[in-house]
Structure 1
């Protein structure tokens, strides 16, 4: 015997879960996977069925129907599915930051309950109780802000409660990002002279000379291949960068080839005679020691700067080498000179050498547009910021020289 299907007052057959109320409006009831009851209503059957389609899409996409129970972690899972345009190592780092610091506790907060004070309190907790560095909290904020922005876009929140939260924390703890200081001319000369001498650190002369006299980013230099340079024409073709990141999902670290940091990063750099000499020195060293590039990274091979095993250089290894070079160079200077006013090397990193090259260009009066293209800056403002900082120091030194000249000139007048 056929089962009589429910119909509305217009004799239209209602689907399973659809009901018409005595008031004439319609309702759709269903249970989720956990057995919890849910319902939606509408004035007309057509409107109800449009809402049913939205429910079906949410179920298929794994979105919880009860918006009041959506957590920050639920929004993070949506962000994972939607986020595009990030390089793999950057995306991997963002996910690690979230899972390490946000997911275990703060991520369980319900979206609808979240207030600005909750986010501020979370950042304060990380800084004061967990002793997390501000730079790390900055990375956490980058992810969390994007996650909560999805909740705003989907109308779960009226505003993003993480807006300005990090700025307030930085102001509260009087935090300032330490500016990278370029080496002075005297410091640069000491550094180069120390590496040029025959000894245990002479091996590092080529890579740091190229870094110092091209302004290339460290990943661009470690990823450089012999086919990327033209020793005859004297040019360097920068078209990719070598990155090293933690594939935490697979519990391993790996090298990868990425596009340059920005589209402007793809560029050709004129090769100064000192840089050409450094490349030839590296080639001769590898020939004498029988070192050959063995690494293959995403199909790229024949890398210029490799370690004694033929593997590509790691940025961390280069920074460790710099720390040893700085230490032993300074010991040598202090052993020879007992004066208190002797010049020694400051603490600096790979990126400081790029900043030093930029400063030398500023001091030499190189055109800002040319500087932007050589450095691969997408935004001229970045170049202008460095230029302004460098010229400020230059003006200061020029004024000191002027004061000394004026003092000498006045003294000579008095003598006459």
Structure 2
């Protein structure tokens, strides 16, 4: 980052910045006054912008500078020896591994070896510029994705974020300006949220093959993530307390901890979930720790379940195709539609805040974001109803006092009153 400094002996301003790993100082004849400082600060911001974009031309901006005449823009990168992207990546991985879950580390290693290092690995950090990154991003877009389709923008952004993390750290350590910081992410398609209705939930549970009925019941009515429900062990089920403890996950990459510390939680069992787990326990295999398992005692394989059970079930029922993860979205929308406190729902789903709930699910829950004006009408009526009733009712009219009292009630108070009256009758 370019900084504006003052020469103590002359009290004139000069620019101090890093370019190609070299510290550069460019003098001015301007005395340190507020107006001159604003002028030089504007120049410093321009230098920062051009460095980030990779368009900085030393000779064009400082044509009389000895550094420009020495060709710093052309040869300084060769004078500043830096490790290759591959060499620094090995250091970065070694330092990061203690923070990663085992299966996440394996996935990162596989991504680096198959996709990133074959292209960027041989390049020295100082030689990688914005053009190299844009070219690599363009090559990613040409790679085939799942089912022969083009790789998604979301996947490209994930790969580029890994490149950016490594390059930013490497450049910072070697006094370079990282070209990755000016690279924008691709616009992603918004993830589809397609929860099932309560009628569809009943249909799914009622029509799935019997050995998978408890599994679907738990997923549809608890909101557990795929890895969390597949990683459930009998020691996590507390029938006495009526709770499920989420302590681990399972996937094809192996067993691991939860997504984050907030994902470790206790999920209460509704009666249908308790009954499903009790039914599952009757068929448990001796010495098998997994709640949901294959006939051979292995944990449920998520891909096998999706292809052999889930998608055939949706086709059979004539329901729109959607991934199994929509069962988690279904549980969330049902809880919110039932009027549960959003903070409670967030904790049950393993979220630290309610931000995601309102961002993802609000459009599916009419009562969560009421837009028909009735809530506002109730508030206004609660405050002004009594005054309006007094102004419009005739003194001495039979029942005027009762009408006035009823008009002053909010919709919630009125509902409570009607419920009490019904119970009394």
TM-score range, shorter chain: 0.5 to 0.7
Q: Which residue of 2 aligns with 1:208?
A: 216
**Contact 1:207 1:305 (C-alpha < 8 Å) held by counterparts:** yes
Q: 1:322 aligns with which of 310, 314, 338?
A: 310
Gaps of at least 5 residues in structure 1 are 1-64, 196-200, 246-254, 295-301, 331-344, 400-416
Q: 2:269 aligns with which of 257, 271, 288?
A: 271
Cα displacement string for residues 124-163 of structure 1 (whole angstroms, at most 9, x for unaligned residues): 121036654433323322321111022222134213x223
Q: Which residue of 2 aligns with 1:414?
A: none
Q: Which residue of 2 aligns with 1:122?
A: 136
Q: Which residue of 1 aligns with 2:19?
A: none
Q: Which residue of 2 aligns with 1:236?
A: 244
SS class of match (1:163): helix
**Contact 1:358 1:386 (C-alpha < 8 Å) held by counterparts:** no
Cα distance between partner residues in 2 of 1:235 and 1:367: 19
**Contact 1:293 1:306 (C-alpha < 8 Å) held by counterparts:** no
The Cα of 1:293 is off from its aligned counterpart by: 5.1
Cα displacement string for residues 92-142 of structure 1 (whole angstroms, at most 9, x for unaligned residues): 111211111111122222221222222112111210366544333233223
| Residue 352 (structure 2) pairs with residue 378 (structure 1) | yes
Q: 1:70 aligns with which of 83, 94, 98?
A: 83
Cα displacement string for residues 265-315 of structure 1 (whole angstroms, at most 9, x for unaligned residues): 1211111100011112212234xxxx4454xxxxxxx11111111111112
**Contact 1:98 1:140 (C-alpha < 8 Å) held by counterparts:** no
Gaps of at least 5 residues in structure 2 are 1-77, 145-149, 374-425
**Contact 1:262 1:377 (C-alpha < 8 Å) held by counterparts:** no
Cα distance between partner residues in 2 of 1:66 and 1:207: 62
Cα distance between partner residues in 2 of 1:367 and 1:357: 14
The Cα of 1:392 is off from its aligned counterpart by: 5.8
| Residue 130 (structure 2) pairs with residue 107 (structure 1) | no
Q: 1:262 aligns with which of 255, 260, 263?
A: 260
**Contact 2:193 2:360 (C-alpha < 8 Å) held by counterparts:** no
The Cα of 1:396 is off from its aligned counterpart by: 9.2
Cα distance between partner residues in 1 of 2:238 and 2:352: 25
Cα distance between partner residues in 1 of 2:184 and 2:252: 28
Q: Which residue of 2 aligns with 1:402?
A: none
**Contact 2:239 2:274 (C-alpha < 8 Å) held by counterparts:** yes
**Contact 2:206 2:213 (C-alpha < 8 Å) held by counterparts:** no
SS class of match (2:81): helix
**Contact 2:262 2:351 (C-alpha < 8 Å) held by counterparts:** yes
Q: 1:139 aligns with which of 148, 153, 158?
A: 158
**Contact 2:89 2:166 (C-alpha < 8 Å) held by counterparts:** yes
Q: Which residue of 2 aligns with 1:80?
A: 93
| Residue 163 (structure 2) pairs with residue 165 (structure 1) | no
Coordinate RMSD, CA, aligned: 2.6
Q: Which residue of 2 aligns with 1:177?
A: 190
Q: Which residue of 2 aligns with 1:338?
A: none
| Residue 226 (structure 2) pairs with residue 218 (structure 1) | yes
SS class of match (1:191): helix
**Contact 2:217 2:273 (C-alpha < 8 Å) held by counterparts:** yes
The Cα of 1:364 is off from its aligned counterpart by: 1.0
Q: How many residues align?
A: 289
**Contact 2:248 2:257 (C-alpha < 8 Å) held by counterparts:** yes
Task: Give me the TM-score of the superposition, normalised by structure 2.
Answer: 0.62
Q: 2:332 aligns with which of 329, 349, 358?
A: 358
